[in-house]
Structure 1
Amino acid sequence: MFLDMYDVIVVGGGHAGIEAASASSNMGSKTLLITTNFQTIGQMSCNPAIGGIAKGQIIREIDALGGYSGIIADYSTIQFRMLNKSKGPAMWSPRAQCDRKLFSYNWRLFIEKNTQLDIYQDTVTSLIIKQYQVIGVKTYFGLKIKGKSVILTNGTFLNGKIHIGEKQINGGRMAEQEVRGITEQLTQNFGFRFGRMKTGTSPRVDGRSLNYDKMKSQNGDIDPKKFSFFYNTKKLKKQRKCYITYTNQKVHDFIRNNFSYSPIYAGDIKGVSPRYCPSIEEKVFRFSDKKEHTVFVEPEGWNTVEVYVNGFSTSFPEEIQYQSLTKISGFEKVKILKPGYAIEYDYFPPEQLKATLESKIIENLFFAGQINGTTGYEEAAAQGLMAGINVHLKIREKEPFILKRNQAYIGVLIDDLITKGTEEPYRMFTSRAEYRMLLRQDNADERLTPIGYDIGLISSKQMMLLDKKRSKIEKCMYFFQNKNFSPKTINPVLYSKKSPKIHHDKKIETILSRSEIDIKDIVSIPFLMEEINKNDFSQEILEQVSIRIKYKGYIDREKENAKKLLKLENLKIPNNFDYKSIKSLSSEGREKLDYYRPISLAQASRISGISPSDLSILLIYMGR
């Protein structure tokens, strides 16, 4: 039935678990994925969308490294938008509205094609641990399965409790049983710290009961992109509309009058809520001066009437949810298909992990996803991918794979978690990345695909495609840097854009570097268009070259800053370094350095409470 010994056992079939299992098995580890329900593999428990601000960058990075989330999203997309196009390219973020059922179905197809990956429907209730090393798992049905390593990706299932008004239902998701035993084992027997967090979901409603004429239509991009750089997924030819409406004073007054029915304000919920994705009752309470809040009306798929009411997460009783919704423009005759609810669950503060996401306490035990205090499909998938890669490398006694903050948003995510921890559900923002001009969504393949190739997740064919793209970019850059515009050719364009005219020939690069001039303004010039067609410079190549030219100063500055950081990253601190013996360190510095065990001076510098003086003392004791 099972192998005598698996290389990797992955617990949980959510976004973290399926990326972890796919990565470890694709690298050659015999992997077992255990999930409570086959039908909810890759389930979108909240809104049916992938990507968004900073999250879209993460999905592109997962794809560039050889993960699957971007590919699955492409196969399931019903609308694609590039967010923040009015801002600089560091802020551009791809987002795909997905067909919820297709997304889960496609993940199942990909998993079942993987001959290195076994799947089993059961619930893991405890770990088999010997001398502080994990050697397997025990299941609800009493099975003992041996493994060299285990990745826990339990999501919201550890002692999960669902709240709808006064109703409290034990469960990890609506109609799905919670998991008991793992938290108790790790905390009582091995000294792990744990906490409680809370998240929530919005009501699903019948789209036929809504009046879309009262809402603002939100269309997809005219020329929709995709997430995957290499996989041969087709571009969208048709898209489904989303809609926007708003709450109003009537809604807010009704909610205020019913605060006592919310388990958040009745004191039933103890877990910490996500600051950046609050429930509607929290929005009304915390932002009492706001007259309205945006409500995004999102279809759940191609062929369903089910609609997700994004921005209206709630734990109110069903009747109050209904009464609140009917006061929103366009929702006057709404029919609720499924009520919203809040869910509390256990998580383990992530500073208890190494940079590889391996536990500091139990060897070969890895954690990924919401169990680490994060929120969001994208953050979970990224952690799953990194855990899957590192567990494979660990059991083969190879060097760990750690992304730096200047290499990827994934590097920022994991570094934040292990050095700062989190006391509220952590989500990624572009503002968290100091090098966001380097970490753009459009260049994730250039940054990370060579690394994915080196570790065995990217094929030779994919590397050839990247090399071809790089060559095209260099050729296009050379042309723009060396070809001139004459005044007669370019001045009409400059005049139309209210840009100063030129009196002598100027390089195309010089003209394009002007803030008011866009690549679209100049590529239509006949001789330039001829050159573009002759060399087959795609829109993607032109956009890449335009970014490099227009933002050269910002990019160069960030590269220089990253070089300075790299010097500190290269100053490695031995794992057995005796901080307690250095009396000249501040007491707080000694305590935190000994607890976090940073792997480099750069990581030590990011730990809250570590002073410049502490860093200087460390340098001296390291012989620098």
Structure 2
Amino acid sequence: MSMFTEEYDVIVVGGGHAGCEAAAAAANLGSKTLLVTMNLQTIGQMSCNPAMGGIAKGQIVREIDALGGYSGIVSDRSAIQFKMLNKSKGPAMWSPRTQNDRMRFAEEWRLSLERTQHLDFYQEMVSDLIVSEDRVVGVRTSLGLEIRGRSVVLTNGTFLNGLIHIGEKQFGGGRAGERAARGITEQLAEMGFDTGRMKTGTPPRVDGRSLDFSKMIPQPGDAEPGRFSYLDTPKLTRQRECHMTYTSPEVHELLMEGFDRSPMFNGRIQSIGPRYCPSIEDKIHRFKDKDRHQLFVEPEGWDTVEVYVNGFSTSLPEDVQFRALRSVAGFENVKFFRPGYAIEYDYFPPTQLRHTLETKLIENLYFAGQINGTTGYEEAASQGLMAGINAHLKLNEKEPFILRRDEAYIGVLIDDLITKGTEEPYRMFTSRAEYRTLLRQDNADLRLTEKSFRMGLASEERMRAVEQKKAQSQDLVGFFKKTSFVPEEINPILETVGSKNVDQGDKLFKVFSRPQVQMEHMMQLESVSEYVRENQLGQEVLEQAEIEVKYSGYIEKEKNNADKLQRLENVKIPEGFDYSQVKSLSYEAREKLGRIRPATLSQASRVSGVSPSDISVLMVFLNR
């Protein structure tokens, strides 16, 4: 008797961040879902740094949470430190980040998934897909088991033909101590998919008991730690301290002694690594004028002594790593848990996907995560969420769920991948989002929860919380617009912040709009503090209202720009449109548009090599 006699709606291959979110989304929407992974003990494991969020990535985690995903909740429940980055800049740049307990993070993911209805698990390697008439109908495992499924989401991470490098040594593996996945790349290549190779790396893990933290610079968390989730997850009442130290010319010289044995420099690694997270040897090679680089010393959890050396990612021989790290201040007696390494793996250029993350060649087959050329837990998780949602929606003959660039960083991420592709590991930055004033971390719930609630993913609890926050913040802004002040009460406050006094009374909104005046200053006014107290307004509402007051002009301008873009988004390009018939298009535009097949004129305008004149020509042709 076969172990799998029934057909699943969605089969998710891989139990990393993308796979976990994909499985949770599909199952929570009601699809009978199977998560297949090579090791059930490493579900949700943090393969690299023990942290979530950061610049632009923190916004993505909050968006995942607003949409009903699990990443924010899991991060909050396993956090050991919280920081809001970029607080000295405008709110569009504020980015939450948690330091996490690696073991508890994976445990929280496992338990959260086990509590999810409609979700089954199976441990084994998927070796190939079962495809019939250009439609995926299941997967085949390394033991030869056939599991039938109406759709499949591939989230293979770095495991597809993964090859680990440490100096001149190399061995197959998708992660330290785990084997590589083989068979899928070769099968998809035979079906006509383009494939490529990418590289990423990780630093040594060391014994914290062997470090001298007195020689390092403490890096504490926020005095009033926040959280990712918009739900009532537990707030941190204590935090673990991180530390910072630096490399030195001596460290660089010791590292350079091993360059002749470096797989990066001797030709063994030919694939491209992440531009914005280079290895320590790459930093020394590229930035010869710098005599030191920062190293962040990050604890791996509440109770473990294992420490992650952030900034020292390397594939140099282990003896070189050891000697060089012992010359870093505070690391003089360091003991290694394991050396750093580089890993090469297969990926599929994402221009082969639709905006739903379904492949163009094989129906009901979805790709999510590093298989699409991205790097980072957050980028992977968001793609998994969107793939899981869209797999369910398509099976139930519902409209696809696609986020625009002005609606979410997730929308920017997927649109960049589909329309521009990537030849190096793609990482999200605030600079990639042209509407980042709209896409702040504080308003992800206001932007996205209602969308998710309508499709049945976000809970009623989330929807009620959003409605309350929206109403309270709008009422508070209205209070500032209609409530007046007199000079005698406001001038003493203005003097303390170095802002010009006023000669006559006016509305609170006007004086609150001044950059020097913060909510804490407004709270010194009896009328404001009384209103906040009577209405029991929380910190999130106060922050939301302050941003609306101070940045209303910028927000309105970006909304207008987004509305103009939406006009192009509304111009649909028929599926299968023959660009060769539009003779006035440039040759490059015809070739790239024919390959990428954008769904709208707006998407076509973002394809590399397509000029504004090409878009004008296409618009005239489509209107005609």
TM-score class normalised by the smaller sequence: over 0.9
Residue in 2 that maps onto 1:254: 254
Residue in 2 that maps onto 1:517: 517
Residue in 1 that maps onto 2:417: 417
Residue in 2 that maps onto 1:141: 143
User: Separation in 2 of the partners of 1:361 and 1:166?
Assistant: 39
User: Separation in 2 of the partners of 1:462 and 1:2?
Assistant: 36
Residue in 2 that maps onto 1:553: 553
Residue in 2 that maps onto 1:88: 90
Offset of residue 3 of structure 1: 4.5
Letter in 1 for 2:199: K
Letter in 2 for 1:205: V
User: Separation in 2 of the partners of 1:402 and 1:542?
Assistant: 31
User: Separation in 1 of the partners of 2:312 and 2:538?
Assistant: 41
Residue in 2 that maps onto 1:361: 361
Identity over aligned residues, as a percent? Answer: 61
Counterpart mapping for 1:136-535 below 5 A: 136-188=138-190, 190-230=191-231, 232-535=232-535
User: Separation in 2 of the partners of 1:461 and 1:317?
Assistant: 52
1:7 aligns with 2:9: yes
User: Is the CA contact (8 Å cut-off) linking 1:82 and 1:95 kept in structure 2?
Assistant: yes
Residue in 2 that maps onto 1:56: 58
Matched positions, count: 622
User: Is the CA contact (8 Å cut-off) linking 2:258 and 2:317 kept in structure 1?
Assistant: no
User: Separation in 1 of the partners of 2:492 and 2:165?
Assistant: 64
User: Is the CA contact (8 Å cut-off) linking 1:9 and 1:147 kept in structure 2?
Assistant: yes
Question: What's the RMSD between the two structures over aligned residues?
Answer: 0.9
Offset of residue 59 of structure 1: 0.2
User: Separation in 2 of the partners of 1:528 and 1:393?
Assistant: 47
SS in 1 for 2:103: helix
1:544 aligns with 2:544: yes
Residue in 1 that maps onto 2:34: 32
Residue in 1 that maps onto 2:597: 597
Offset of residue 401 of structure 1: 0.7
Residue in 2 that maps onto 1:123: 125
User: Is the CA contact (8 Å cut-off) linking 2:173 and 2:179 kept in structure 1?
Assistant: yes
Letter in 1 for 2:77: Y
Letter in 1 for 2:127: T
User: Separation in 2 of the partners of 1:508 and 1:23?
Assistant: 44
SS in 1 for 2:193: coil
User: Separation in 2 of the partners of 1:521 and 1:218?
Assistant: 28
User: Separation in 1 of the partners of 2:584 and 2:478?
Assistant: 55
User: Is the CA contact (8 Å cut-off) linking 2:127 and 2:142 kept in structure 1?
Assistant: yes
- The CA deviation string for residues 168-193 of structure 1, in whole angstroms up to 9 with x for no partner, is 010000110101100000102x1110
TM-aligned CA distance change 1:3 to 1:87, over 3 Å: farther
User: Separation in 2 of the partners of 1:154 and 1:420?
Assistant: 22
User: Is the CA contact (8 Å cut-off) linking 1:476 and 1:537 kept in structure 2?
Assistant: no
Offset of residue 82 of structure 1: 0.2
Letter in 2 for 1:288: K
1:109 aligns with 2:111: yes
- TM-score using structure 2 length: 0.99
User: Is the CA contact (8 Å cut-off) linking 1:51 and 1:57 kept in structure 2?
Assistant: yes
What residue ranges of structure 2 are gaps of 5+ in the alignment? none
User: Separation in 2 of the partners of 1:141 and 1:505?
Assistant: 79
User: Is the CA contact (8 Å cut-off) linking 1:58 and 1:410 kept in structure 2?
Assistant: yes
User: Is the CA contact (8 Å cut-off) linking 2:28 and 2:117 kept in structure 1?
Assistant: no
Offset of residue 302 of structure 1: 0.4
- The CA deviation string for residues 199-257 of structure 1, in whole angstroms up to 9 with x for no partner, is 00011111111111111101111111110002x31110000000011111111122223
User: Separation in 1 of the partners of 2:302 and 2:51?
Assistant: 13
Find runs of 4+ consecutive structure 1 residues off by over 3 angstroms: none
User: Separation in 1 of the partners of 2:378 and 2:48?
Assistant: 12
SS in 1 for 2:530: helix
User: Is the CA contact (8 Å cut-off) linking 1:473 and 1:541 kept in structure 2?
Assistant: yes
User: Separation in 2 of the partners of 1:459 and 1:377?
Assistant: 24
1:97 aligns with 2:99: yes
TM-aligned CA distance change 1:562 to 1:228, over 3 Å: same
- The CA deviation string for residues 381-414 of structure 1, in whole angstroms up to 9 with x for no partner, is 0000000000001111211110000000000000
Letter in 2 for 1:220: G
- The CA deviation string for residues 70-116 of structure 1, in whole angstroms up to 9 with x for no partner, is 00000000000000000000000000000000000000001111230
User: Is the CA contact (8 Å cut-off) linking 2:255 and 2:321 kept in structure 1?
Assistant: no
Letter in 2 for 1:29: S
Letter in 1 for 2:278: P
SS in 2 for 1:148: strand
Residue in 1 that maps onto 2:73: 71
- The CA deviation string for residues 256-280 of structure 1, in whole angstroms up to 9 with x for no partner, is 2321121111111121110000000
What residue ranges of structure 1 are gaps of 5+ in the alignment? none
User: Separation in 2 of the partners of 1:559 and 1:288?
Assistant: 44
> Which moved further from structure 2: 585-594 or 355-364?
585-594
Letter in 2 for 1:274: P
> Which moved further from structure 2: 570-579 or 420-429?
570-579
Offset of residue 526 of structure 1: 3.0
User: Separation in 2 of the partners of 1:621 and 1:510?
Assistant: 49
User: Separation in 1 of the partners of 2:456 and 2:117?
Assistant: 16
- The CA deviation string for residues 569-613 of structure 1, in whole angstroms up to 9 with x for no partner, is 011111121111222211111111111111100000000111122
- TM-score using structure 1 length: 0.99
